[in-house]
Amino acid sequence: MDNKDKFASAPDDLALKFLRPVLATTLTLGSLAWASDSFRKVGLVLFTEQFLSAMLALALALVFIHYPARRGAERRIVPWYDLLLGLAGFSAGAYVAIVFPNLTERLADAPLDGIIVAFIFFFLSIEGLRRSTGYALVAIVLFFVFYALLGHLVPGDLETRKVGLIPLVNYLSLDTNALMGLPLVIATTIVITFVFFGQLLLRSGGADFFNDISMALMGRYRGGSAKIAITASSLFGSVSGVAVSNIVATGIITIPMMKRAGYPARMAAAIEAVASTGGQLMPPVMGAVAFLMADFLQRPYQDIVIAALVPSLLYYVSLFMQADLEAAKDKISPVDASVIPQASRVLAAGWMFLLPFAALIYALFWLNWEAETAALLASVVVLAIGIIFGHKGQRISLHEIWYALQDTGTSVLDIIMIVTGAGFIIGVLQVTGLGFAFTLFVVDFGNSNLVAMLAITAALCILLGMGMPTIGVYILLAVLLAPSLVEVGIDPLAAHMFILYLGMMSLITPPVAIAAFFAASIAKAPPMATGWTSMRFGWTAYVVPFLFVFSPSLLLQGNAFDLVVDVVTALAGVWLISACLIGYFCRPMAIVTRLGYFVLGAMLMIPNEITSYMIWINAAGAALGIALVAWDIASAKKTTRPHQSDNRKRIFTI
């Protein structure tokens, strides 16, 4: 069922039929108006906190209408208590939006109206977080809140200053270093505009174009169905920013295609899950996470994109190699030529879908526009394409635009609720001094064993990220763990890329591999088996972050010689290790051969900057790797010749 049918078949409950779409659309329009500076143009000059309060009012009202109290239950009617909670959230947000300039001057005196709206914001945000994402993040947020109240009783390095309940809730709900801070700004501006861009791209035929061009380019090669999935999912995933949404858009086509070609169901689901997840690493958009990182690091957006180039290349080279070798091993044929479109015809019908990306890149890199304004420009270009040109004879209609506004508003609810929780955690770290204490605690540990610290941090990234979209994962980890990595001397950009990669892998890492499980449901494959297979296909994202922490050359920082050597050897190492994991290169591998591929691949992947003699290890790995591959090819030819000779004799005898 598509989104249009979903809304058309909504129940007759007035709140669901009228109030939900109006609130969702208004939420999206509010973000678009802020991105286009429309408020100021009509003479309405607002504090950022006033805009955030108004957006929070809409989000809190919408979350209690959209999500039932019991998670997973079907929402057919909105009970009176949810309407009351939604009204309370909307009223509190609207009140703060109106009186904020006056209220902020009185906050130090703990005014009654400030206390009331602060508690409403806090409790409704926690409940909205529970309904939209589950109990895991709620438990983390509440742990920090209770620690803030009791931390002054904790002896040792993690002792905090004493804070009372009312001052704490006031600070968490109304201060710009907490709920009203950067995470909520990003969610209500950049995230919403990029999600709307993705919705328009999907409804105007962009997803079909990506699938068609991927099929035209990759369908004729062995394992072509998997390569189509990888190409299409990486392209669309970069824009959507949400792996599950990307799986919906492309996986419903690519997963059945892979299964028909001969890939097992779990493997088809794993390839789609890994490709869709990795789209958030793909420059230039990176699912809007790049803009978050640029804000956190106070660095130009271009720096983030450049740093992501090599890691994303290694990620997708590995995925392509494994899909290709699986196809060779299992004799999976290319896609039937009769269903492969001609690339020239695909480009002729959809070349205009390249224009939004050109506009986006031009606005970001050359005009230096804000990310949300650049996304708005790209949305306008997509909209013009959908209305004027259309795709495959269909033009985007006013109804489709209406549904895009609605779906954007409802699809970002979980992200908004996540950033409210992240805002509370940030507030606790600030008001209690726990952030500084925690950083010192981790730094003391890291100074004694940096590798162990990185391993523990990686495990925490995966654990804390389970069940959350990448944007929410990154915000949480950037607050909790990145400062500790920076404090022990790791480059800030490398530290933030480290937590992004490991946090993102929570989407395909069991036991809560949400992207893998979602793809498994489409493929009708065992969820846990799909999760473990996804880990194998996405192995580079678990390894490469450790390498670029020690050697910034993989983030394209440093001298030209180190950059060239490290990138080339890393690509070769990824190739060898991928072959080892599949157990096939030009023939099935014995255990000893697989071990050789793995060891030589590891020798190649380790950057030469780590130690003074690593360049010689790289050279040895290259020489031995070439020898091993040559021997493997020669041995494969020898084993096939007798077989071919026997076949000729057998045919001749017959």
The length of the chain in residues reads: 654
The arithmetic mean of pLDDT across residues 260-279, rounded, is: 87
Of the given ranges (83-92, 125-134, 238-247, 360-369), which has the lowest mean pLDDT?
A: 238-247
**For residue 65, pLDDT beyond 90:** yes
Give the per-residue pLDDT at 636.
78
Residue 42, domain member (yes or no)? yes
Residue 429, domain member (yes or no)? no
Give the per-residue pLDDT at 650.
35
Where a domain ends, among 355, 383, 413? 413
Same domain, 404 and 314: yes
Q: How many domains does the chain have?
A: 3
Q: Report how far residue 633's alpha carbon sits from residue 546's, in angstroms, rounded to the nearest whole number.
A: 32
Q: Report how far residue 191's alpha carbon sits from residue 472's, in angstroms, rounded to the nearest whole number.
A: 11
Residue 529, domain member (yes or no)? no
Of the given ranges (169-178, 249-258, 413-422, 531-540), which has the lowest mean pLDDT?
A: 249-258
Tell me the chain's radius of gyration from C-alpha atoms: 26
List the structure tokens of 457.
Answer: 């941090």
Q: Report the percentage of the chain scoring pLDDT > 90.
A: 24
Q: Among residues 418, 417, 409, which one has the least CA distance to residue 465?
A: 418
Query: Binning pLDDT at 50, 70 and 90, where does residue 7 land?
Result: very low
Q: How confident is the model over 28-39, as pLDDT tens digits? A: 999 999 999 899
Return the amino acid letter for 76.
R
Same domain, 353 and 400: yes
228 vs 102, higher pLDDT: 102
Q: How confident is the model over 550-585, as pLDDT tens digits? A: 878 888 887 777 788 888 888 899 999 999 999 888
Give the per-residue pLDDT at 518.
77
Q: Give how far Cα 573 sits from Cα of 103, 536, 562, 568, Å.
A: 59, 16, 16, 9
Same domain, 138 and 40: yes
CA–chain centroid gap for 8, Å, is 30
Are the beta carbons of 270 and 534 closer than 8 angstroms?
A: yes
Same domain, 101 and 202: no
Query: Residue 310: CB partners within 8 Å, gap ≥ 6?
Result: 554, 555, 556, 567, 570
Strand, coil or helix: what is 137? helix
- Kindly report whether the global pTM for this prediction surpasses the value 0.95: no
239 vs 297, higher pLDDT: 297
Helices (H), 262-300: 265-278, 289-297
Residue 451, domain member (yes or no)? no
Residue 118, domain member (yes or no)? yes
Same domain, 163 and 300: no
Where a domain ends, among 388, 413, 438? 413
Query: Binning pLDDT at 50, 70 and 90, where does residue 474 land?
Result: confident
Give the per-residue pLDDT at 450.
78
Query: Residue 528: CB partners within 8 Å, gap ≥ 6?
Result: 510, 511
Same domain, 91 and 74: yes
Give the per-residue pLDDT at 8.
41
Same domain, 165 and 203: no
List the structure tokens of 117.
Answer: 């709206």
Q: Helices (H), strands (E): how many in the chain?
A: 34, 0
**For residue 206, pLDDT beyond 80:** no
What is the DSSP track for 207-270? Answer: HHHHHHHHHHHHTTSTTHHHHHHHHHHHHHHHHH--HHHHIIIIIHHHHHHHHHHT--HHHHHH
The arithmetic mean of pLDDT across residues 646-652, rounded, is: 37
Q: Residue 81: which H helix or E strand, with range? A: helix 80-106
447 vs 137, higher pLDDT: 137
221 vs 454, higher pLDDT: 454
Of the given ranges (31-35, 96-100, 250-254), which has the lowest mean pLDDT?
A: 250-254
650 vs 60, higher pLDDT: 60
Same domain, 204 and 151: no
Where a domain ends, among 356, 384, 413? 413
Give the per-residue pLDDT at 140.
84
Structural domain range at position 219: 184-413
Residue 551, domain member (yes or no)? no
**For residue 525, pLDDT beyond 60:** yes
CA–chain centroid gap for 193, Å, is 16
Same domain, 219 and 91: no
Residue 486, domain member (yes or no)? no
Residue 156, domain member (yes or no)? yes
Give the per-residue pLDDT at 654.
29
The arithmetic mean of pLDDT across residues 535-542, rounded, is: 90
Query: Would you tell me the crossing angle of helices 252-261 and 514-523 to the nearest 10 degrees?
Result: 60
State the first-to-last Cα distance of the chain, in angstroms, to the nearest integer: 56
Residue whose tokens read 């200053």: 161
Same domain, 163 and 196: no
Same domain, 285 and 367: yes
Query: Residue 83: CB partners within 8 Å, gap ≥ 6?
Result: 15, 64, 65
CA max distance for the chain: 102
Same domain, 169 and 225: no
Q: How confident is the model over 509-518, as pLDDT tens digits? A: 887 677 888 7
Are the beta carbons of 544 and 554 closer than 8 angstroms?
A: yes
Give the per-residue pLDDT at 119.
96
The arithmetic mean of pLDDT across residues 413-428, rounded, is: 87
